[in-house]
Structure 1
Amino acid sequence: MSIAKAISNAMSGLTATARGTETVASNLANVMTPGYARREMAVTAQLQGGGVRIDGITRIVNASLLSEQRLAASAVGDMSTQAAFHKRAEKVVGLPGEPHALTTALTDFQAALSAASTRPDDEIRLSQVVSTAGTLADRLNTASAEVQAMRGAAQQGIRSDVATVNAALERVAFLNVRIAVLDADGKDATPLMDERQQMIDRISAIVPVQEVAREAGKVALFTAEGAVLLDGSVPARLGFQGGDQVTADQVVGAPLERLTLNGTALSAGQMRLFGGGSLAANFAIRDEMAPRLQSELDDMAFDLQQRLADPAVDPTLSATGPGLFTDAGTRADPAARTGLAGRLALNAAVDPRQGGQLWRLRAGLQAPTDGPVGQGAVLSALVGAMEASRPAGAGTGFEGNATLAQRFGTVESRVSARRVEAEADLSIRSSRQSTISGSMMADGVDSDAEMQRLLQYEQSYAANARVLVAVDDMINQILRM
């Protein structure tokens, strides 16, 4: 071997060692960096000329494990959004014994009615009936407003998710182009690949995605159900139009909208293409979960209004007139029940603040004059109507016979059960995600293995350095001859 060839071999070895050391240092520095994939230097021996050639830096990724991690992230994004809604819904309805619970307001109202029925002449007790009845109506109004606020928040969440997905897809498309250019030039594109992985991970929490490798280091993206998000240089464009405020009577199509894909509105069936992440969860809250809760509140309000508007309870009432509770001053219409919980109000005829008279509670809402102060028949009938076990009304979500308190309790238990179920499901999905993430970490940078590789590079460096020292000694001896 000639001296020149020995120097060339040693220098190529030192160059490879330096590049390999940089790779190890990068791996160790980014061991906890999200989206970072372990690097390995690829080298081959040069048969002609000797030495080694650096073929490039290889990015080590377990594609199947990464895909599972993204699907798990989508599942967690979906259920965490739903669980947050159910937790808030439980606070809106309340639990038995809580001061703000609907059942607490109902219990207070029933207690005030019972107390007044035993002393109909006591205006303080009659005032308590009016006060607790107003509180019950206010609680139902507040609960209804909160439900619509949650629908509005879901609508804002949809808009935010759509904006995030569009921005991330644009970035992935740009990175695809840059990676292809660097690949063609033979330059290291792994930092851009890390960034691209982070962008795709961000999308996966909103919409489940599948990544498919394309030529020149590019990737194509599809939803788990097959919708094309990116396959080429131009990404798909999601669209959504919707205001911040949502009312109880608004439904999909009148005027709530679904997604658009590249300017084309999606049908109900096509929306399944984007199911599984936080985006689908927000649509489910806006269009299914919150309306179901609103319907239950409306059913409770309707039952309350109808029980106390019965002429058999208050003989002064007409068959169509309002009772102690009204729907904007009139009797509730079964066909226009949607949003009733938000409109329910105390009849002004008994509210002194609205020009009413307390004596109408004992004499009857439409009584022309006050009768004997000791008459308690109407108040007793109101108590009996509240405590009577009546069949569920047609078109309601209730079943069988029950008292009004049992109806309220049924809704409380349903809301609580949904919250418990959602949190249990979230716990299972989060555990699965943690397991997969742990596998990803184990398959990623191993600090012990990197230190072993660093020792190997140190030994390689020392060996090549000794070759150069030996060559230097030989040259010096030749020069001294």
Structure 2
Amino acid sequence: MGLTQALATAMSGLRANQAALALVASNVSNIETPGYVRKSLNQAQTTTGTGSSGVIVTGVNRELNVYVQKQVLTETSGASYATTMSNALQRLQGIYGDPGSNTTLEAAFNALTAALQALSVTSDSPAARSTAVNAAQSLAQMLNSTSAGIQSLRADAESAIKSSVDAANNAMRQIATINNQLLGTTGDDAAAASLLDQRDQYITQLSQLMDIRVLTNERNQVTVFTNSGVQLVGSEASTISFDAQGTVTPNTAWNSDPSISTLGTLTLTFPHGGDIDLIATRSIRSGAIAANLELRDETLVQAQAQIDQLAAAMASALSDKVTPGTKDDGPPANFTLDLTGLQNGNKVQFSYTDTTTNTTRTITLVRVDDPSVGALSNTATNDPNDEVFGIDFSGGMASVVSQLTGLLGSRGLSFANPAGPGDLLNISGDAGGATVVGSASSTITIRDLAGGDPQLPLFVDNGVPYTGAITATGSQQTGLAARISVNNLLLADPSRMVIYNTTPTTQAGDTTRVDFILSQLTQGSYYVSPQTGIGSSATPFKGTMLGFLQQFTTMQGQAAASAKQLADGQNVVLSTLQNKLNATSGVNIDEEMAHLLALQNAYSANARVMSTVKDMFDSLLRSM
């Protein structure tokens, strides 16, 4: 090797060392920078016809395990989803109160029944009467605050979705921008490596918000899809819009029909036109956005349905009077019902037997005053063996008879409006005995406090009796827990907790009304809507009010515990994968220092070669 070649070789070594030293400096200075991937030089030996002549730098390498990185993205979405759900359910558990404390719904319910038991013993005591009314008021206020808490959580979810959409749009724009910037690089220089770090950071941010799949081509361009296959980013970014609707109440709900929906929807618009409803297509299945959508539209809606069901059961159980029809001996056997006072939401129920098949059926007729309500499901009674029909009473009894004949006349049933006082309805089978009516009754909400009935409207809906009314805008039960209160007339006169008749006046010591209230609250058995998440349409839960209350509070506690366990597990998996990724991609200060020493030694060796070559050149020049 000649002196010139030796000098060139040493110079190339020095240049490579300088580049490597710059990378070490960059690695060390970015040791705390999130998303920074350790860099190293790609070097190659140069040769001439006589052999090795030095080294050249061919590029900058990111020390990245791509397979682990993909796993991290997947688990980031899962951990974000699980953590969001867990945090919300822990807050919901806090709204229900700590089990065993006196601030829970169960404690308030038990306080009411205890006050009623005391009143049954000392019904003449004004203090006992006031205590019972106050206990009822405390329970109603507990339901009000629980409903407010649930709707606050739904509002927070709505707000979080909006914030997530803003963050997602920014991340997608940045990914598209960096994609285009990388087109002007060789793909393996320092500038490209820095851009790749930045792009990975935005991809990670996006994965926290939704589940994504990332494809990379040979030009270092990425295309980002949701796991359901919707493209989010390529050379251009799609845009997600969210039309937040403001106040969230028990009656606000998302619907795929924009004219009906009262909550915000997610619409993704593609760069070159066209859009897709991300909620209706269930395109986002994980990440913070998916969790907040599930909370807003399912989990918390179910929680509201639970307390609304409890409020409705309490109100109707105490104010609804069931009156059997008057049976007239046949043939055919028939029943006459007096429907005077039947209100929107009140019911008529009868059973009949088809003797040709020996099949007994139950029919429930629900009064509706809005013709647009249409068909009703058995959610009006929650009894799976019940056929439910909405009947428009606004046109009078003649119209009711006509509607019933059209609906049920083909089954051998006959309906009539006999002459007499009040609104009478006659229900009968056929004279041949093929259809036999076995029973009939009406359920009418009592409005008076002292009309001679033990029933009373103890709990009301914004000051009016609860009847379970159904209109085109929904059921009166929806959001009842937010509106339920104690009847103002009882607050003004607690004696009506005992006195149910004024002509003649209820006798002193009569506990008929108190015993009725206590029995309905503690012993009455009721079907529960499957919308509460307890039971199903085919096998609904049936039990006491306290049994139902304990069921859903226990269910919520278990859900919160399970969500926390899942979140903890997801975070452990994510942390493990992140540590595995950092082991190869992160900066290790000890390794960098060792590398620095090796580079310093190499730098010194190259410098000594150059110094020696210089000395040899000087000797040659002096000898000439």
- What is the CA–CA distance in structure 2 between the aligned matches of 1:32 and 1:186, rounded to whole Å? 22
Contact map agreement 1:94 1:412 (CA 8 A) in 2: no
Provide closer, same or farther for how the CA distance between residues 394 and 410 of structure 1 changes in structure 2, counting only shifts above 3 A: closer
CA distance, structure 2, for counterparts of residue 438 and residue 59 of structure 1: 17
Equivalent position amino acid for 1:258 in 2: T
More helix by share: 1
**1:450 correspondence with 2:461:** no
Aligned-residue Cα RMSD (Å) equals 2.4
Distance in 1 of aligned mates of 2:582 and 2:21: 21
Tell me, yes or no, if the aligned pair for 2:250 and 2:479 is still in contact at 8 Å: yes
Q: 2:267 aligns with which of 255, 260, 264?
A: 260
The match for 1:126 is 129
C-alpha displacement at 1:395, in angstroms? Answer: 6.2
Larger Rg: 2
1:468 aligns with 2:471: no
1:281 aligns with 2:291: yes
Using CA pairs under 8 Å that are at least 6 residues apart, name the structure with larger relative contact order, 1 or 2. Answer: 1
Match of 1:343 among 457, 469, 483: 483
Q: Does 1:358 align with 2:498?
A: no
Native 8 Å contact 1:361 1:378 kept in 2: yes
C-alpha distance in 2, partners of 1:185/1:417?
52
- Offset at residue 312 of structure 1 (A): 7.5
Deviation at residue 225 of structure 1 after TM alignment: 2.1
Rounded to whole Å, the distance in 1 between the matches of 2:217 and 2:480 is 56
Q: Are 2:458 and 1:324 aligned?
A: yes
Per the alignment, in what secondary structure is the counterpart of residue 166 of structure 1? helix
CA distance 1:393–1:456, shift in 2 (3 Å): closer
TM-superposed CA distance for 1:2, in Å, is 3.9
User: How far does residue 235 in structure 1 lie from its aligned partner after superposition?
Assistant: 0.5
The corresponding residue for 1:294 is 304
Cα deviation, residue 9, structure 1: 1.9
- Pairing 1:430–2:586 present: no
Partners of 2:175 and 2:531 lie apart in 1 by 49
Report SS of the residue matched to 1:40.
strand
TM-score normalised according to structure 1 size:
0.91
Report the Cα distance in structure 2 between the residues aligned to 1:389 and 1:36, rounded to whole angstroms: 65
Q: Is 1:440 matched with 2:608?
A: no
Counterpart of 1:127 in 2: which secondary structure? helix
Deviates more, 1:437-446 or 1:411-420: 437-446
Contact 1:149/1:245 (8 A) holds in 2: no
Counterpart of 1:39?
39
* Aligned equivalent of 1:249: 251
Aligned residue for 1:238? 240
Per the alignment, residue 223 of structure 1 pairs with 226
Larger displacement relative to structure 2 (113-122 or 31-40): 31-40
Higher mean C-alpha deviation, range 90-99 or range 412-421: 90-99
What's the counterpart of residue 143 of structure 1? 146
Quick check: 2:80–2:288 contact (8 Å CA) kept in 1?
yes
Q: CA deviation at 1:51?
A: 2.1
- Equivalenced residue count is 471
Q: Deviations over 1:311-356 (max 9, x none)?
A: 489xxx993225110122122316421111111111111112xxxx
> What amino acid maps onto 2:461 in structure 1?
D
Measure, in 2, the Cα distance between the counterparts of 1:38 and 1:220.
24
Deviation at 1:35, TM superposition (A): 1.0
For 2:460, give the aligned amino acid: T
Structure 2 unmatched ranges of 5 or more: 324-340, 343-443, 448-456, 535-539
1:110 partnered with 2:245 = no
- Letter of the 2:599 counterpart: Y
Does the CA-based 8 Å contact 2:187-2:193 persist in structure 1?
Answer: no
Q: Which residue of 81, 85, 88 corresponds with 1:82?
A: 85
> Deviation per CA, 1:100-123, whole angstroms, max 9, x where unpaired?
211111111111111122112221
Task: Judging by fraction of residues, say which structure has more strand.
Answer: 2
Q: Tell me the alpha carbon deviations over residues 206-261 of structure 1, each in whole angstroms, 9 at most, x when there is no partner.
A: 112222213433222112222111112x1011111112311212222232243111
Structure 1 residue 473: Cα displacement: 1.3
Deviations 1:49-86 (A, max 9, x none): 92221112111211111010011010011111111121
Counterparts of 1:297 and 1:447, CA distance in 2: 57
Structure 1: distance between partners of 2:176 and 2:570: 30
User: 1:142 deviation in Å?
Assistant: 1.2
Quote the residue 1:16 is aligned against: 16
Hey, what does 2:213 align to over in structure 1?
210
| Change in CA separation of 1:155 and 1:369 when aligned onto 2, cut-off 3 Å | farther
Could you tell me how far 1:269 is from its partner in structure 2? 5.3
TM-score computed with the length of structure 2 as normaliser: 0.71
Aligned partner letter, 1:276: S
Between the aligned partners of 1:405 and 1:190, the Cα distance in structure 2 is 64
**Matching residue within 270, 273, 287 for 2:281:** 270
* Matched residue type, 2:545: L
Separation (CA, whole Å) in 1 of partners of 2:46 and 2:152:
69
The 1:269/1:184 distance shift into structure 2, 3 A limit, reads same
- Measured after TM superposition, the shift of residue 372 of structure 1 is 4.0
Q: Distance in 1 between matches of 2:548 and 2:605?
A: 85
Higher mean displacement: 406-415 or 68-77: 406-415
- Answer whether contact 2:316 2:445 (CA < 8 A) is retained: no
Q: What does residue 353 of structure 2 align with?
A: none
Partner of 1:159: 162
- In 2, the alpha carbon distance for the partners of 1:235 and 1:243 equals 26
Contact 1:74 1:278 in 2 (8 A): yes
Alpha-carbon distance in 2 for matches of 1:197, 1:278: 19
Change in Cα spacing, 1:394 to 1:231, as seen in structure 2 (3 Å) is closer
User: Does the 8 Å CA contact 2:158/2:244 hold for their aligned counterparts?
Assistant: yes
- Say if 2:206 is the partner of 1:195: no
- What CA distance in whole angstroms lies between the structure 2 residues aligned with 1:188 and 1:394? 62
Distance of 2:550 and 2:127 partners within structure 1 = 29
Unaligned runs of 5+ in 1: none
**Partner-residue secondary structure (3-state), 1:98:** coil
Give the match's secondary structure for 1:349: helix
The structural deviation recorded for 1:403 is 2.5
CA distance in 2: counterparts of 1:400 and 1:28, whole angstroms: 63
Match for 1:37: what amino acid? V
Find 1:405's aligned residue among 546, 563, 566.
546
Preserved CA contact (<8 Å) 2:266 2:279 = no
Residue 43 of structure 1, CA deviation: 1.2
Distance 1:83 1:368 in 2: 58
Other-structure match for 2:520:
385
Matched-pair contact (CA < 8 Å) for 2:145–2:482: yes
Q: Which amino acid aligns with 1:102?
A: L
